[in-house]
Amino acid sequence: MSGSNSSVKKTHASVFELNGVPSFGQALPLALQHVVAMIVGCVTPSIIVAGVAGINDSDRVILIQAALFCSAISTLLQLFPFIKFGNFQLGSALPVIMGISFAYVPSMQAPTTSPPFWAHRW
């Protein structure tokens, strides 16, 4: 058949090009680097808050798993936009890793270290 795709040769491009497809040898170390960076940035705030709150190990595991699950869902929503109408779409269609922010760690630590408001004597 003359219309087959056997004549199309797939070439690899630079990692820094917009539509570049790196070779497997280039992509594997970069993928591992991104996984390690994402896990450390996503798990550390949960560990800090769990340590300050003094929760037990099983609840600490649940807190870490919830952080990873929420990060995965929000990353997939950014990567694969599923709501599109007009000029609006939910998600950027870019490989963006959405994670947990360290900005909320102090506000999550405050309720765990201060007594509840009803414990104060007026």
Segment 18-72, tens digit of pLDDT: 677 888 888 899 888 888 888 888 899 999 988 888 889 999 999 999 999 998 8
Report yes or no on whether pTM surpasses 0.85: no
Are the C-beta atoms of 73 and 91 separated by less than 8 Å? no
Whether residue 119 is predicted with pLDDT greater than 80 in this model: the reply is no
User: Quick one: pLDDT at residue 61?
Assistant: 94
Q: Give the domain extent around 56.
A: 22-103
Residue 112 lies in a domain: no
Please tell me the total count of domains within the chain.
1
Report yes or no on 84 lying in a domain: yes
Is residue 29 in some structural domain?
Answer: yes
Confidence (pLDDT) at 64:
92
11 found inside a domain: no
The answer as to whether 57 is a domain residue is: yes
Classify residue 34: in a domain, yes or no: yes
Q: Residue 79 class from Cβ within 10 Å (0-12 exposed, 13-18 middle, 19+ buried)?
A: middle
In a domain, 116, yes or no: no
pLDDT digits (tens, 9 = 90+) for 80-96: 888 888 888 888 887 77
Q: Is residue 42 part of a domain?
A: yes
End-to-end CA, the chain: 89
